[in-house]
Amino acid sequence: MKTVDIVERIEGEAKLVCQWEKNKISDVRVEFLNFRGFEYILKGKAPLDALVYTPRICGICGQAHLKATVEALEQIYKNHNEELIITNKAKLLREVGLNIEIIDSHIKWFYMFIMPDVVKFSNNDYSEYKALKGKKWLEASACASEVIKVLAIIGGQWPHTSYMIPGGVVSDPTLLDLTTMQNYIDYGIKFFENNLVGMEIENYLSFNEAEDLYKVKADLKDFITLSFENGFEKIGKSYNRHLVLGSSLSFEEGKINKKLIKNIDFENIEELSLNTFNIDKSKNSKDAYTWSKSALYANNFYETGPLSRTLVQNRKFISSVHKHYKDSMFTRVMARMDELGFLLKKTKELIKRVDISEDSFIKPKISINEFKHGLAEVAVEACRGSLYHEVEIEDGKISKYDVITPTVWNLGPGIDGKLSTSQKAIIGTNSIEKAKLILRSFDVCSVCTTH
């Protein structure tokens, strides 16, 4: 039997085509059928224009794209032995911006994309989680609106800002601005404490074993209870291979394929398009069914995202939960919410470290257009996982721009008989509702996946 279902309430839409055998999903295809063509549009453009284009790849993770672009352009300077000086202040303001975007996304993801489906598994009254109307939904929306102002103060607007430029950032916050930013972060911390975990953040962050799950209160407790009632800790397991391409003050790079390896080599990244539509229809392969490509590291599919980051960093609470429940749908959701707490605290510290007497920007000695040829590969950690940008310039123009988004790692099609991360996670599931939840646990974004 074959079923076709549509997954909405993600960014864009995904089509879930399942084959069923003995009431279990025996094969699955995740199809993304919306395409814009950023990589074609960027070709021939001035390199600095990419700072305005790439954030528009996604309305949710635009900061991650901006940071990847700016670091790629700086990499080109470095490769010409003209390394730019980026002050600590600029580095901090960039990372604060990116972290805030992740924080904002995690809040909305839990309340707007996950919980409305999770509560459908219960007969009890969870109407407070109802989309658009429920008290909890509205409170989460209000909190996200407050927290994102931290980014608006230094970025000017959100979504889609371009305040980072090669050499630093354009913004120059005052002490008052920094205090205001901390106040908005405190709003987020209060929300985390009062609404999500029902205890002080320090208390929560001191958890170090899976048994601490039972101490969690408030909304996250609702999720934990519903999960154990419905066996969410048993579904959605994939290869349990994890990849973190980006490193920063908040995250460490590394990969786990049975054991943890801390150094990452971009040489091992491969992007394939056997199942991908071609922009020139006459060149479509007969196996093409989606606009997403497939991404492999050292010839293997890897999962990327908060769970991978938590494991590579060995943050104890979730690492212990993971020991018990592996890379299940339950662990994935818990890891993302745990990262919310971790980042709220971390980002507040980063803001405190900003020294306003430092420069925000130090002008590059030469224009990037003066390089005849340039090539750069960079990765940053976005809300959904590792984001990779590869840029090539020829005679002052972009000659190639390749983007591999986190959702391509997690949700792209399998290849050469190998199942992709999400396919592996979904196969064996006994209901379409659970299959959709597993898909959501990867934080699906259709527009990122195809870009």
Partner 1 sequence: MVDSQEMVKKVFTQNSARIDTNKGDAYYNSLFEKAKERLKALRAQPALKDIDMMEVVESEGVNRRDFMKWASATTATLMLPPMFTPLVAEATELMNRVPVIWIELQDCAGNSEAILRSSTPTVDDLLFDVLSLEFHHTLMAASGHQAEHQLEDAMHHFKGKYLLFVEGAIPTALNGQYGTIGPSGETFQEHLARLSKDAAAVVAVGTCATYGGVPAAAPNPTGAVGVMDLVKGKPVINIPACPANPANMVGVVLHYVLTGQVPELDSLLRPKFAFGYRIHDNCERRAHFDAGEFVEEWGDIGAQNNFCLYKVGCKGPMTFNNCSIIRYNEGANWPIGVGRGCIGCSEPDFWDKYAYERPMADANIKAPTGGVEKTVDEFGLGLLTATTIGIGVHAVASAVAGKRTVHSEDEE
Annotated binding site for Fe cation: 61, 448
Closest CB to partner 1 among residues 168, 412: 168
Applying CB under 8 A, does 346 fall inside the site for partner 1? Answer: no
Output the smallest distance, CB 68 to partner 1, in A.
16
Residues 407-436 that bind partner 1 (CB under 8 A): 436
What is the torsion angle, in degrees rounded to the nearest 10, for the CA atoms of residue 174, residue 150, residue 342 and residue 240?
A: -130
Shortest reach from residue 303's CB to partner 1, in Å: 23
Point out the annotated binding site. 39, 58, 61, 403, 445, 448, 451
The whole-angstrom separation of Cα 319 and Cα 334 is: 11
Question: Is the bond leading into 173 cis (omega within 30 degrees of zero)?
Answer: no
The yes or no reply on residue 160 touching partner 1 (CB under 8 A) is: yes
In the complex, what is the shortest distance from the CB of residue 319 to partner 1, in angstroms, rounded to a whole number?
A: 32
By rule CB under 8 A, what count of residues binds partner 1? 75
* Distance (Å, whole) CA 26 – CA 428: 6
Alpha-carbon distances of 120 from 5, 45, 153, 236, rounded to whole Å: 17, 48, 38, 18
User: Which residues from 247-306 bind partner 1, rule CB under 8 A?
Assistant: 279, 281
Q: Which stretch binds partner 1 (CB under 8 A): 170-178, 187-195, 201-209, 342-350?
A: 170-178
Q: Are strands 373-382 and 385-394 parallel, antiparallel or unpaired?
A: antiparallel
Write the DSSP symbol of residue 269: E
Among 106, 325, 447, 449, binds partner 1 (CB under 8 A): 447
DSSP state at residue 110: I
CB of 12 to partner 1, least distance (A): 7
Taking the least distance from each CB to partner 1, the nearer of 145 and 320 is: 145
| Total number of residues shown for the chain | 451
> Of 137-145, 191-199, 305-313, 342-350, which segment contacts partner 1 by CB under 8 A?
137-145
- Shortest spacing between CB 35 and partner 1, in angstroms: 5
Binding of partner 1 by 399 (CB under 8 A)? no
> What would the x/- binding string for partner 1 be over residues 354 to 383, using CB under 8 A?
-----xxxxx--------------------
Q: Are 321 and 210 in contact (CB under 8 A)?
A: yes
Which residue is associated with the tokens 């991650």? 64
Q: How far is CA 200 from CA 144, 156, 169, 367, 438, in A?
A: 19, 31, 34, 49, 30
Chain residues 172-201 in contact with partner 1, contact rule CB under 8 A: 172
**Backbone phi, psi, residue 285, to 5°:** -75, 155
- Subset of residues 101 to 120 that bind partner 1, contact rule: CB under 8 A: 108, 112, 116-117
Q: Which is nearer to partner 1, 5 or 270 (CB)?
A: 5
Residues 46-65 that bind partner 1 (CB under 8 A): 46, 48-49, 51-53, 56-60, 62
> What is the maximal distance between C-alpha atoms in the chain?
67
Residue 374: Cβ within 10 Å count: 21
Cα separation, 271 vs 451, whole angstroms:
14
Which of 114, 167, 325, 383 is in the footprint of partner 1 by CB under 8 A? 167
Cα separation of 187 and 192, whole Å? 9
> In the bound complex, what is the minimum distance in angstroms from residue 260's beta carbon to partner 1?
35
